[in-house]
C-alpha cells in the first residue's frame, strides 16, 4: 500500500518535473526573444519564470524529502505560540504628577487606546481648572491620588499643615464626586520618617524617573524609560508637559507589548501585596 502510493507520488513528481522543465525552457526562449526586441511583457515573463522555478523546487524536493519533518516543525511552532500567549505579561505602573493640565485629555485618550491605566497625583490648585478632565479620569480605569493642594514641600510643614493641604484637596475632589485614593505622592519626593509615621496615608514614590520635568525632550524621555524599566517598576511622569504626552504616545504601544500597564493599586493587588498606611512604596520586587 505504502509502496504503491510512494510509487504514484514519485511518478507524479516526475511528470510535474518534466512539465515544469518544458515550461521553463519555453518561457526562457520567449523571454530572451522579448528582451532582444525590447518587449514590454519581458518583465512579466521574467517573473513567471522565477515563480515557476520556485514552484518546481518546492513541489519536487520537499514533499519527498522533508514532508514529515516539515509537518512536525509546523506543529511544534503552533504549540509554542499558543503557550506564549498564555504566559501573563509582567506589570509596570505609570504615574503622572502635577496635573491635570491642558494635555491630560489627550493623554487619557492615548491610555485608553493602548489598554493602559495610570495613577494621577493631582495638585489641588488645578482641580477647578479641569473639572471635566478629572471626572473623565475618575470614570475611566485610572485612579487619583494626592499631591497636596499647593505643591508644598511637605518636609517644611507641620503635620497639621500637611493635613490641611490634603483635606482642602480632598474637599475639592469630593465636590466633583471623586473619592481619591488615600495615597500621597510627596511633591519633589520630599519626605521624612516623621511624616510617614504621623500621617494617615500611604506614600507612593517611584523607581524610575522619566526626568521629563528636566529634559522636556521626547527622545530623552523615551530613552530614560527604556533604559531603566523592568517588571514591577513605578514610573514617574508629569502630564503638564506636551513633550511627556508626545513621548507616552510613542512609548505605550512598545511597552504594552511586554508589560501590562496598570495603576499603582493594581500593581500591588495583583502582586498580593496590601498597600498599608504609614508606609512608603516605590516598586514591586520580583519574587
Ligand atoms: Zn510635583
C-alpha cell belonging to residue 4:
504503491
238 an active-site residue?
yes
* Ligand 1 centroid from CA 78, angstroms: 48
| Catalytic, out of 98, 238, 239, 246 | 238
Q: Using only C-alpha atoms, what is the Rg of the chain?
A: 31
pTM of the complete model: 0.71
Q: Residue 75: CB partners within 8 Å, gap ≥ 6?
A: none
Q: How far is the CA of 255 from the centre of ligand 1 (A)?
A: 24
pLDDT per position as a tens digit, 135-194: 999 999 999 999 999 999 999 999 999 999 999 999 999 999 999 999 999 999 999 999
User: Residue 286's pLDDT is what?
Assistant: 74
Q: How far is the CA of 134 from the centre of ligand 1 (A)?
A: 17
Q: Residue 23: which pLDDT band, with cuts at 50, 70 and 90?
A: low
Average pLDDT over residues 258-286: 96
Helix-strand-coil percent breakdown of the chain, rounded to 5? 60, 15, 25
103 has pLDDT over 70: yes
Please identify which of the residues 97, 98, 212, 239 carries the catalytic annotation.
97
Note the pLDDT of residue 49: 38
Gap from CA of 153 to ligand 1 centroid (Å): 9
Residue 274 confidence (pLDDT): 97
Distances (CA, A) of 207 to 48, 49, 118, 144, 213: 59, 60, 15, 19, 16
The SS3 of residue 37 is: coil
More confident residue, 216 or 37: 216
pLDDT band at 91 (very low <50, low <70, confident <90, very high): very high
pLDDT at 111 over 80: yes
For ligand 1, the distance from its centroid to the CA atom of residue 92, given in whole angstroms, is 20
Sign of CA pseudo-dihedral 142, 89, 226, 114: negative
Residue 89, pLDDT score: 83
For ligand 1, the distance from its centroid to the CA atom of residue 75, given in whole angstroms, is 53
Q: How far apart are CA 104 and CA 242, in angstroms?
A: 9
Query: Checking DSSP bridges between strand 143-146 and strand 280-281, what pairing results, if any?
Result: unpaired
Return d(Cα 151, Cα 187) in angstroms, integer.
6
Amino acid at each position: 500500500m505504502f509502496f504503491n502510493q510512494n510509487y504514484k507520488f514519485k511518478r507524479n513528481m516526475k511528470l510535474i518535473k518534466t512539465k515544469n522543465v518544458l515550461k521553463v525552457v519555453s518561457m526562457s526562449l520567449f523571454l530572451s526573444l522579448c528582451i532582444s526586441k525590447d518587449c514590454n511583457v519581458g518583465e512579466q515573463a521574467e517573473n513567471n519564470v522565477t515563480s515557476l522555478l520556485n514552484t518546481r523546487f518546492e513541489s519536487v524536493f520537499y514533499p519527498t524529502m522533508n514532508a514529515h519533518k516539515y509537518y512536525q516543525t509546523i506543529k511544534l511552532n503552533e504549540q509554542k505560540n499558543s503557550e506564549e500567549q498564555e504566559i501573563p505579561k509582567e506589570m509596570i505602573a505609570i504615574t503622572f504628577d502635577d496635573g491635570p493640565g491642558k494635555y491630560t485629555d489627550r493623554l487619557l485618550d492615548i491610555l485608553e487606546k493602548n489598554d493602559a491605566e495610570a495613577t494621577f497625583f493631582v495638585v489641588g490648585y488645578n482641580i477647578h481648572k479641569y473639572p471635566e478632565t478629572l471626572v473623565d479620569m475618575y470614570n475611566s480605569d485610572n485612579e487619583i491620588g494626592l499631591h497636596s493642594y499647593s505643591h508644598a514641600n511637605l518636609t517644611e510643614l507641620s503635620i497639621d499643615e500637611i493635613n490641611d493641604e490634603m483635606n482642602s484637596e480632598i474637599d475639592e475632589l469630593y465636590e466633583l464626586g471623586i473619592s481619591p485614593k488615600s495615597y500621597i505622592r510627596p511633591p519633589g519626593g520630599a519626605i521624612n520618617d516623621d511624616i510617614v509615621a504621623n500621617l494617615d496615608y500611604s506614600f507612593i514614590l517611584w523607581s524610575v524617573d522619566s526626568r521629563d520635568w528636566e529634559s522636556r525632550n521626547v527622545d530623552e524621555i523615551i530613552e530614560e524609560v527604556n533604559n531603566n524599566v523592568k517588571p514591577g517598576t513605578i514610573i514617574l511622569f508629569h502630564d503638564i508637559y506636551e513633550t511627556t504626552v508626545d513621548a507616552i504616545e510613542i512609548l505605550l504601544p512598545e511597552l504594552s507589548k511586554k508589560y501590562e500597564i496598570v495603576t499603582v493599586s493594581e500593581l500591588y493587588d495583583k502582586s498580593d501585596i496590601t498597600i498599608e498606611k504609614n508606609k512608603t512604596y516605590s516598586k514591586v520586587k520580583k519574587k
